[in-house]
Amino acid sequence: MNSRYITTAVALLFTGAVLFAQTKEEEDRLNGGTITVVKAYDPSVADAFKVKSLPQLNDTTKIQKKAVTYSIFSVPVASTFTPAKGKLSRLKPRQRPQYYDNYARLGFGNYGNIVAEFAGNIEVDRDSDFGIFLNHNSSLGGIDEVMLDDSYLDTALDLSYGHRSKNASFGITGGARYQKANWYGIYEPLNAQLVMTNPQDTDVDISYLSYGLGGNVDFFDSVFKELELKLTGTSTSEDASEYRARLLPKLGFDIEGTEVSLGLEVDYLAGTFDTQGLRPAQTDYSYVSTGLNPKINLYDDNYKLELGVHVNYLTDLESNEGDFKFYPDINASYRLLEDQVIAYTQILGGRDMNSLQQFADENVFLAPAIDIQPTNRTIDAQLGLKGKISNNFGYKVFGGYKKENDRYFYTKDVGRVLIVNEGATLGNVFYTQYGDLETTFFGGSLSVDVSSKFNLTVTGRSMTYEVTNGPNFENTASQLPEFTADIVGTYQINDKIDVGTTVYLVGERDVYRNGFGVESLDSFIDLNLDVNYKINSKLTAFLRGNNLTGGNYQYYLDYPVQDLQVMAGAVYKFDF
């Protein structure tokens, strides 16, 4: 890794430990679940619609940005706003913080960036409520030296209803999300050809429409514990479509004082691609995954042990083939020294049902057609220590090993001679290719929570990869970073002002380009600052600075992100 980045990272770690941090979290209840939104700074996709029953509403918000991604739909709402605590004096009692069920946020920034959010909770009656969450994130673009349109848009709407009775509670959630981006990251040698044409005539936009409906029931005094149903779909402007249905019932009972649970799952996934890119891909795919997960729970004052197994049968409906797999499901922890030293381990595995929606969540710059197949996670093991050094300091250190067969990797191509209005032929789209991946990793985290006014978390993780059965991309762990680290925290200066910072470091990555070979992407550091000023109990103004140190770095090959960004706006909280 470049020594300049390492020096900067160390300096920022010490600076963050003394002064800043970014996330502030506090939750208002909405239908008993959780909504969280993760904001980021560049035109890539966040979580496409995931049906979440009984969502919960965050008013003060939790910004938990991933490098080069922003999460917007049906997942947690982030702001940095938290009601100030009342002061203690001899003459006045401490004022209790005032909480509200609803809020609206609006912010504007350079690059034509706009953020708008609305979240509300309406009490239908004593045991029922209705929730709504609307989110919009867009940009006009304007990244230096990018010749094509680099604007993006992401808008999502979630509606939910929840009801609780004496014996059970249930929730229903429905929503839709529209995402639009552009394939602006063209293969560099084609720039010369593009400059000789009118770039505005080259259509490079891609859009995704995701939708879903789901519900769940929780039973309080019954062997039948839970029942969850999720129905989702995705379609694209390139005539691709996908449908998915998941049914997840769960049973629970005691056998001679031992807790026993039995989870079941039926997962159906099917999709089609009507338009192909330069690299041919499957036109149809359909799978049915059926699974059982029996588990027993053993625990005492000093230990906890969960012993289980995943039994899975996968059917490929296109080829009429199927196979059984067995995976471990073990979690254990033991107190070596009260809360100061706790040893833990997990030995897991499973069948991961990859999907178009999942890939678009991670990387919106996909080719019109890609290969989609499940990943066989044969082992996913971790061993570590965690605990509290004191009441204010916590730690975690760990190491592990993971083996995945048929693991996907993002690769690019070199494109072809420029053809106007064929925007996916400029070496500017990603394909999925599969191989077997072994990952050895280790890392740790340290959290400091001095008081309600200051907290800080530092996390780091190092990975080593070995790829086999991927000869078509030279067994390259394409787009996977060797190292990641972050600092996240908050510092409340007084009852009116709080500041925060997040620092993200992503290590070097190798990327395979079909027709050329392996290329490398540099590591980068991304620094973000937030300042929030509480005008009154309902209104707060905010100022954000994102990507203060990273420049136009590339997380995905050929796709520079927006440089320094500044956004200002306000959050208004209220009750109906």
pLDDT tens string 209-242 = 999 999 999 999 899 999 999 999 999 999 999 9
- Angle (CA) 439-440-443 rounded to 5° is 120
Check: CATH 3.30.920.30 for 391-575?
no
pLDDT tens digit sequence for 430-465: 999 999 999 999 999 999 998 878 999 999 999 999
d(CA 116, CA 25): 19
- Average pLDDT value for the chain: 84
| Model pTM score | 0.82
Across 274-340, the runs of DSSP E, i.e. the strands, are: 284-299, 303-316, 321-337
Phi, psi of 122 (to 5 degrees): -115, 120
Q: Provide the b/e sequence for 232-247 (b: ≥16 CB within 10 Å).
A: bbbbbebebebbbbbe
> Is residue 284 very low, low, confident or very high in pLDDT (cuts 50, 70, 90)?
very high
CB 37 within 8 A of CB 117: yes
In this predicted structure, what is the pLDDT of residue 189? 85
Which H or E run contains 573? strand 565-574
- pLDDT 10s digits, 386-430: 999 988 999 999 999 999 999 999 999 888 755 555 677 888 999
Ranges of CATH 2.40.170.20 domains, the chain:
391-575
406: nearest Cα among 440, 378, 366, 430: 378
Higher per-residue pLDDT: 537 or 202: 537
